[in-house]
Structure 1
Amino acid sequence: MSNTRYELKVDPTVAYTRTIFVPNTENILDAADFAVTDVVQRARAAGRKPVMVEVTVRVAP
Protein backbone atom coordinates (compact mmCIF):
# COMPACT_ATOMS: atom_id res chain seq x y z
CA MET A 1 0.00 0.00 0.00
CA SER A 2 2.79 2.41 -0.76
CA ASN A 3 0.40 4.55 -2.83
CA THR A 4 -2.08 4.82 0.02
CA ARG A 5 -2.11 7.93 2.15
CA TYR A 6 -4.28 8.43 5.17
CA GLU A 7 -5.29 10.92 7.79
CA LEU A 8 -5.94 9.95 11.39
CA LYS A 9 -7.92 12.02 13.87
CA VAL A 10 -8.09 10.63 17.37
CA ASP A 11 -10.28 11.39 20.33
CA PRO A 12 -8.82 8.82 22.73
CA THR A 13 -11.91 8.69 24.93
CA VAL A 14 -14.52 8.23 22.23
CA ALA A 15 -13.53 7.30 18.71
CA TYR A 16 -10.77 6.76 16.23
CA THR A 17 -11.54 8.11 12.79
CA ARG A 18 -9.37 7.45 9.81
CA THR A 19 -9.78 8.59 6.22
CA ILE A 20 -7.81 6.63 3.66
CA PHE A 21 -7.10 7.74 0.12
CA VAL A 22 -6.41 4.82 -2.24
CA PRO A 23 -5.17 5.08 -5.85
CA ASN A 24 -7.99 2.89 -7.23
CA THR A 25 -10.92 0.77 -6.12
CA GLU A 26 -9.14 -2.59 -6.34
CA ASN A 27 -7.83 -2.69 -2.77
CA ILE A 28 -10.48 -0.76 -0.85
CA LEU A 29 -11.35 -3.61 1.52
CA ASP A 30 -7.69 -4.41 2.17
CA ALA A 31 -6.99 -0.75 2.91
CA ALA A 32 -9.92 -0.52 5.31
CA ASP A 33 -8.88 -3.71 7.08
CA PHE A 34 -5.32 -2.42 7.40
CA ALA A 35 -6.55 0.89 8.81
CA VAL A 36 -8.76 -0.68 11.46
CA THR A 37 -6.03 -3.12 12.52
CA ASP A 38 -3.47 -0.31 12.67
CA VAL A 39 -5.73 1.94 14.76
CA VAL A 40 -6.55 -0.83 17.22
CA GLN A 41 -2.90 -1.83 17.60
CA ARG A 42 -1.83 1.78 18.18
CA ALA A 43 -4.59 2.30 20.74
CA ARG A 44 -3.68 -0.85 22.63
CA ALA A 45 0.01 0.10 22.57
CA ALA A 46 -0.94 3.42 24.16
CA GLY A 47 -2.93 1.60 26.85
CA ARG A 48 -6.33 2.58 25.45
CA LYS A 49 -9.26 0.52 24.34
CA PRO A 50 -10.89 1.97 21.22
CA VAL A 51 -14.59 2.52 21.72
CA MET A 52 -15.29 2.94 18.04
CA VAL A 53 -13.21 2.86 14.88
CA GLU A 54 -14.61 4.64 11.85
CA VAL A 55 -12.86 4.28 8.50
CA THR A 56 -13.68 6.23 5.36
CA VAL A 57 -12.03 5.04 2.15
CA ARG A 58 -11.85 7.44 -0.77
CA VAL A 59 -10.34 7.05 -4.20
CA ALA A 60 -7.65 9.68 -4.60
CA PRO A 61 -8.19 12.13 -7.47
Structure 2
Amino acid sequence: MKRFLPSRAVLWFLFLFNLGVAVVAPLALDGAQAVMTAAGMGVVALGAGVALLRDTPESA
Protein backbone atom coordinates (compact mmCIF):
# COMPACT_ATOMS: atom_id res chain seq x y z
CA MET A 1 0.00 0.00 0.00
CA LYS A 2 2.86 2.41 0.74
CA ARG A 3 4.21 2.05 -2.81
CA PHE A 4 0.75 2.41 -4.36
CA LEU A 5 -0.40 5.63 -2.68
CA PRO A 6 2.34 8.05 -3.82
CA SER A 7 2.16 6.96 -7.48
CA ARG A 8 1.36 9.78 -9.90
CA ALA A 9 -1.79 8.08 -11.21
CA VAL A 10 -3.25 7.76 -7.72
CA LEU A 11 -2.35 11.35 -6.86
CA TRP A 12 -4.02 12.63 -10.05
CA PHE A 13 -7.14 10.57 -9.27
CA LEU A 14 -7.27 11.89 -5.69
CA PHE A 15 -6.76 15.45 -6.88
CA LEU A 16 -9.36 15.44 -9.66
CA PHE A 17 -12.02 13.32 -7.93
CA ASN A 18 -11.89 15.18 -4.64
CA LEU A 19 -11.78 18.57 -6.36
CA GLY A 20 -14.86 17.59 -8.38
CA VAL A 21 -16.73 16.45 -5.28
CA ALA A 22 -15.74 19.64 -3.43
CA VAL A 23 -17.22 21.72 -6.25
CA VAL A 24 -20.44 19.68 -6.64
CA ALA A 25 -21.16 19.05 -2.93
CA PRO A 26 -22.68 22.48 -2.21
CA LEU A 27 -25.02 22.01 -5.17
CA ALA A 28 -26.16 18.53 -4.11
CA LEU A 29 -26.31 18.94 -0.31
CA ASP A 30 -27.67 21.55 2.07
CA GLY A 31 -26.36 23.31 5.12
CA ALA A 32 -23.51 22.17 7.32
CA GLN A 33 -23.22 18.82 5.54
CA ALA A 34 -22.41 20.59 2.26
CA VAL A 35 -19.85 22.85 3.91
CA MET A 36 -18.07 20.03 5.73
CA THR A 37 -18.06 17.75 2.68
CA ALA A 38 -16.67 20.50 0.45
CA ALA A 39 -14.04 21.45 3.03
CA GLY A 40 -12.92 17.86 3.64
CA MET A 41 -12.69 16.99 -0.02
CA GLY A 42 -10.96 20.29 -0.72
CA VAL A 43 -8.28 19.53 1.88
CA VAL A 44 -7.62 16.10 0.35
CA ALA A 45 -7.47 17.61 -3.16
CA LEU A 46 -5.09 20.30 -1.93
CA GLY A 47 -2.83 17.70 -0.33
CA ALA A 48 -2.73 15.60 -3.50
CA GLY A 49 -2.06 18.71 -5.59
CA VAL A 50 0.84 19.72 -3.36
CA ALA A 51 2.27 16.20 -3.60
CA LEU A 52 2.00 16.36 -7.40
CA LEU A 53 3.80 19.71 -7.51
CA ARG A 54 6.48 18.57 -5.10
CA ASP A 55 7.26 15.49 -7.20
CA THR A 56 7.61 17.49 -10.43
CA PRO A 57 11.18 17.17 -11.70
CA GLU A 58 13.12 20.42 -11.89
CA SER A 59 13.93 21.63 -15.40
CA ALA A 60 17.66 22.13 -15.92
Q: TM-score range by the shorter chain?
A: 0.3 to 0.5
Structure 1 or 2: larger helix share? 2
- Could you tell me the TM-score, scaled by structure 1's length? 0.39
Q: How does the TM-score come out when normalised to structure 2?
A: 0.40
- From the CA coordinates, give the structure whose radius of gyration is larger: 2
